[in-house]
Amino acid sequence: MTVLINGESCSGKELFSKIIHALSPRKHGQFIAINCGAIPEGTIDSELFGHEKGSFTGANDARKGYFEVTNGGTIFLDEIGEMPLGTQARLLRVLENGEFIRVGSSKVQKTDVRVVAATNVNLLESVRNGRFREDLYYRLNTVPIAVPALRERGEDIYLLFRKFTADFSEKHRVKPISLLPDAVQLLTRFRFPGNIRQLKNIAEQISVLELERELNGSQLAKYLPAEQSSNLPMLLRAAGPDGNTNGYSERDLMYKILFDMRRDVTDLKKMVLELATASHHGRPHETQELLRQNSHLFAPATTGFDGGNQPAADYLLPSSSSGFSSPYAVEPTLNYADTEEVEQPVEDISHETEEETLSLDVKEKEMILKALKKHNNKRRYAAHDLGISERTLYRKLKQYDLEEI
């Protein structure tokens, strides 16, 4: 039966395929492992199914493919998700009827091969995206096997470590490595993003480089690399519908962040004025409602140093039944008895918000003009002040019709 092995890279999928072959009636036949992602698309059909002499440029002789050579044995197709769609159709015919045709031939040949496939990607997702044939997926998935990552195997980590260190001590003719309890605990708690291959590499490093043959936790920690992940946000270009990254540059994103901050400050000034007005006229319920609606201005979604999200309530301004009060607020000096005098500043702020532009081109043009004015139209110094090359500055001047300056 056809077997499909799923698991992360370097988790030992090929070893599972060898075990399946060794325990099957085909154990006396040939076993061959093929990485579908390592074979160029133009030659993979020839590699798998063979070709006739003169079928393409460079085909000086006829050649048998892997399915013909391993007749009666097992063929392991690693990274099956990388196989081209045309080759997938040929493979489906082999799985269903045991038939294949060499490249450049019209003769149908028979083969009796047991196929074991492996992948580290979600094939169902590839089917939905049109990168993998649905009928081939269900034909391969007759016997599914999920190989867990090394970090999910618990005490197997230490067991495999002992196996590897014993093999390397015999290979290099040294005494085997042993770990103290704190080192065993550190080893089993490590994530091992490289899975079995990383564990084997660490075991060989320790076996060859370590002078002492019994290691504690601090000695073992020197061979366990620090995590390469980061919790900091990363600026990426947004991918378009066609997959191209034609989104914002990092500089554009910084401009956008600054404009958003300015707009938030304007909204905050407007809200504070409304709160002061409601408090002065004795409307505490309106004050609380305004605080609730605009709590995002006081409680942004931030993350504490411990990695947990700080609740928004911790950032709310203090309130009391007597009205709105804040240690940062300045006692208003306006005559609140006159409604027109209260409403006018709000209209001014709203008008300021409406006239504010978020165009990156306009802001960039303003900054170029300021830099030129600052340096008396000396473009070399202006470019240095702007943090761009002089050639880029000339291009920007031409773009914004500022060449006459």
- Using DSSP's 3-state secondary structure scheme, residue 374 falls into helix
Is the pLDDT at 30 greater than 90? The verdict is: yes
pLDDT band for position 296 (cuts 50, 70, 90) = low
pLDDT at 273: 76
pLDDT at 347: 45
What percent of the chain shows pLDDT beyond 90?
33
As given in the structure block, the two tokens for residue 30 are: 């040939």
Q: Return the closest-CA partner of residue 139 out of 113, 115, 104.
A: 115
How far apart (Å, rounded) are the C-alpha atoms in residues 214 and 212? Answer: 6
pLDDT band for position 88 (cuts 50, 70, 90) = very high
Q: Are 373 and 301 in contact (CB under 8 A)?
A: no
User: Which CATH code, of 3.40.640.10, 3.90.110.10, 1.10.8.60, 3.10.310.10, is assigned to 151-221?
Assistant: 1.10.8.60
What's the mean per-residue pLDDT of the chain?
78
As given in the structure block, the two tokens for residue 218 are: 């601090």
pLDDT at 316: 42
Question: DSSP secondary structure string, 258-304?
Answer: HHHHHHHHHHHHHHHHHHHHHHHTT-HHHHHHHHHHTHHHHS---B-
Q: CA torsion, points 215, 217, 222, 226, in degrees to nearest 10?
A: 150
pLDDT in tens, 180-231: 999 999 999 888 888 999 999 999 999 888 888 888 988 898 888 876 433 4
Partners of 31 in the beta sheet?
Answer: 74
CATH class (in words) of the domain with range 360-399: mainly alpha
- Amino acid at residue number 197: R
Is the pLDDT at 41 greater than 90? The verdict is: no
Other CB atoms within 10 Å distance of the CB of residue 247: 13
Kindly report which listed range (30-44, 169-183, 228-242) carries the lowest average pLDDT score.
228-242
Q: Return the closest-CA partner of residue 401 out of 360, 368, 354.
A: 368
Which has more confidence, 318 or 156? 156
Question: How much is the pTM?
Answer: 0.53
How far apart (Å, rounded) are the C-alpha atoms in residues 24 and 22? Answer: 6
List Cβ neighbours of 259 (8 Å cut-off, separation of 6 or more): 356, 358, 363
Spacing of C-alpha 76 from chain mean position: 29
Locate tokens 């993350």: which residue?
303
What percent of the chain shows pLDDT beyond 70?
73
pLDDT in tens, 225-282: 876 433 444 444 444 444 444 445 666 777 778 878 888 888 888 777 777 776 666 6
As given in the structure block, the two tokens for residue 387 are: 């943090």
Burial of 230 (0-12, 13-18, 19+ CB in 10 A): exposed
As given in the structure block, the two tokens for residue 79 are: 């990274």
pLDDT at 279: 64
Segment 13-22 mean pLDDT = 93
Other CB atoms within 10 Å distance of the CB of residue 246: 9
How far apart (Å, rounded) are the C-alpha atoms in residues 92 and 115? Answer: 11
Superfamily of segment(s) 3-147: P-loop containing nucleotide triphosphate hydrolases (3.40.50.300)
Segment 116-133 mean pLDDT = 92
